[in-house]
Amino acid sequence: MIDDDELDDLVLQGHGGAIADPDRHVDDPNEKKKEKLNARLKCEVVKIAEEASREHGVRISPKFAQCLTELTSTYVHTLADDLAAFAQHRKGKVITHDDVLLAVRKMPSVLEGVHAVLPPDLVAKKSRQPKLTL
């Protein structure tokens, strides 16, 4: 039986692999861990894209898969940085649903998705800050 790492490598290879510098060598264990998580994320994105394409009766090209995985990875890292900055700004150490709502506030379809998975008591929660009236 093939293990998850080997399967991930095969999926990425089948789609042209990740866009990366092949001569880059990383010795830092934290960097290696980040790269492994990033590769795992990209593999899952390819699997989801392949499943969606099958449902629609189309195929995805290797270049499309590379582009999609890079865009997704970039977005996830940017979102994570934003969420950490929002938590730090309010002097918190835990990223909360309020941070997520703030991060996706300008993307209506994503905001709807976030509201769909939040428990009802959190969706209806009142803001801590009073609204300004003129």
Note whether residue 32 is domain-resident.
Answer: yes
Q: What is the DSSP letter of 124?
A: T
Note whether residue 96 is domain-resident.
Answer: no
Residues of the chain with pLDDT > 70: what percent? 71
Residue 19's H or E segment, with its range, is: none
pTM of the complete model: 0.65
In the 3-class helix/strand/coil scheme, how is 22-37 assigned residue by residue?
CCCCCCCHHHHHHHHH
Residues 73-91 have pLDDT tens digits of 999 999 999 999 999 999 9
| pLDDT above 70 for 53 | yes
29-55 vs 4-14: helix crossing angle, rounded to 10: 60
Please state the domain count of the chain: 1
Note whether residue 116 is domain-resident.
Answer: no
Residues 6 or more apart whose CB falls under 8 angstroms from that of 83 comprise 95, 99, 100, 103
Note whether residue 31 is domain-resident.
Answer: yes
Residues 12-42 have pLDDT tens digits of 565 555 445 555 556 778 888 888 888 899 9
Give the domain range for residue 4.
1-18+27-73
